[in-house]
Structure 1
Amino acid sequence: MNTTYLGLELRRFARDRANLFFVAVLPTFLFVVFGSTQDHASTSVGNGNVALYMLVSMAAYGAVTATVGVGGSAAVERMQGWGRQLALTPLRDGSFVAVKAALAVLVALLPVTLIALVGWIGGAEGPVVAWGLSMLAVAAGSTVFALFGLCAALAFRTEAAVSAASGMVVILAFLGNLFVPLSGVLLDIARFTPLYGYVSLARYPVTEGRLISNDGRDLGTEALWVPLLNLGVWALVLGVVATLLVRRGRGRQ
């Protein structure tokens, strides 16, 4: 992997203050408002508390927003001719992909680290193992959604498509049981949405599969295979769609 190119990409990302706000600051703010400052923040959930539950949720939201942006921007760059410029350098396609993948992981770690620090100070409680596994799942699982940004950019071939994809993440977060605990029919629908499996898997070390409603009712326990299957299927779907869109783009050239 070309570390020089990765460094340039990181510096370019750091210069985009608006992007930094939506990736790191906004999820942290949402955690403070809806998590650590609430009266029920110390209520037990699984082997943690509500504050830790919300911490994982907001970290997941920030990480997905980051990776969607990285995936989408990579596709736009290639379509706007950056790929032809890179072809004049010794950088190979594999190195380009490796740099973008590393960038997605590093950018995803930004909201995860910031929210974890604020949560640790603000009363999020749980076993160290649960903290570690949840944060690892947040960072690793979010890379799947770089494919979501990639698909949006390849389908509509504009920078606006990347912004639209990031906006859609908010809607998918509500539908995916991320912001507000769902129940009944809405929960049944949520199980088929892209973010459900990812968020549920990230929460699993904390909740141990326990589902709660918005009013605190216990909805039973969900097996681990449910979020794993959801995330795996959506990773496959997004990967296939991205491949087909790349082939379509080559056919137009």
Structure 2
Amino acid sequence: MTATPLPGTTRPASGSAIRSTARAAILRTYLRVELRRTLRDRRTLVFSLALPPAVFLGVGASADDGTSQVGPETNLMASLLVSIALYGALLTATSGGASVAVERAQGWTRQLRLTPLEPWAYVLVKVLASMAIGAVSVLLTFVVGAFGGAQLPASAWVLCALIAWSGSLVFAAFGLFLGYLLPTESVVKVLGPVLTVLSFAGGLFLPFSDGTVFGDVSRVMPTYGLAELARAPLGGASFEAVAVINVVAWAVIFFAGAVWRFRKDTARV
């Protein structure tokens, strides 16, 4: 015989429901803490927010044919703007790796393992915090580009910005993966040069011709798919399915690698 709740009363929450509610509350709290910590890092903020617009203005001013048309409503400055905005978003996203390396050295990640916070949730919070700053970086770069001579269709302004920002998810996980993989004193020195090499090798700044050795190699770089997708809205250009496959595959690899290294780093707890 089962007990029936009296009228006007509610059935007590199950243990699993209570645990789920507690985890959600911890996740929200930790996300707020991480965002505040990121906003207090003034050096990273200035570097992430000021560098991309400065590069666009500097390169654009020296480009003699920046106003030349590359599409019905698109000029060369627009293509340059999208590439630099995407690079700025990737640079901002990977900065999360440096904070992870510091937290590892301080033993903070092991302390987190004593909480109900799952490894995937910890990685997710880091990714979201990095992408929040990345959104500001992309927006600021596009605002500067609008006043700096970039011309592209109205829909392309929105689509290119959204793709550049959302695509940085891949490199937010990449920064975390390296942050757990490398020693604390090395991760900051490695992230910048590695990202620059990947950007050039993946054709972010200068696309390679199809059928060439460099063109074939660029297709397997983590930056290739993002660059192709971000530039696709310019003049209504299309992209190949390999670009989507490239983005999804590297996102899975980096996110799984970050979770794996987090579990391994805190296995002694």
TM superposition score normalised by structure 2: 0.77
Specify the structure having the higher radius of gyration (Cα): 2
Alignment length (residue pairs): 240
Q: Following the alignment from structure 1 to structure 2, what is the Cα–Cα distance between the partners of residues 193 and 124?
A: 27
| In the alignment, structure 1 residue 110 sits paired with structure 2 residue 126 | no
| In the alignment, structure 1 residue 185 sits paired with structure 2 residue 213 | yes
Higher strand share: 1
1:62 alignment counterpart = 88
Change (3 A) 1:252 1:3: closer
1:155 alignment counterpart = 181
1:125 alignment counterpart = 151
Q: Following the alignment from structure 2 to structure 1, what is the Cα–Cα distance between the partners of residues 32 and 62?
A: 37
* C-alpha displacement of 1:247: 4.2
TM superposition score normalised by structure 1: 0.81
2:262 alignment counterpart = 246
1:9 alignment counterpart = 34
Q: Following the alignment from structure 1 to structure 2, what is the Cα–Cα distance between the partners of residues 51 and 191?
A: 24
Counterpart mapping for 1:35-114 below 5 A: 35=60, 38-46=63-71, 47-74=73-100, 76-78=102-104, 80-86=106-112, 92-93=117-118, 96-114=122-140
CA RMSD of aligned residues (A): 2.7
Identical residues among aligned pairs (%)? 38
Change (3 A) 1:126 1:137: same
Asked if 2 retains the 8 angstrom alpha-carbon contact of 1:36 and 1:119, the reply is no
Asked if 2 retains the 8 angstrom alpha-carbon contact of 1:72 and 1:146, the reply is no
Give SS of 1:44's match: coil
1:224 alignment counterpart = 240
2:5 alignment counterpart = none
Give SS of 1:177's match: coil
1:205 alignment counterpart = 233
Q: Following the alignment from structure 2 to structure 1, what is the Cα–Cα distance between the partners of residues 148 and 29?
A: 37
Structure 1: 5+ residue stretches without partners? 210-221
Further displaced range: 239-248 or 151-160: 239-248
1:146 alignment counterpart = 172
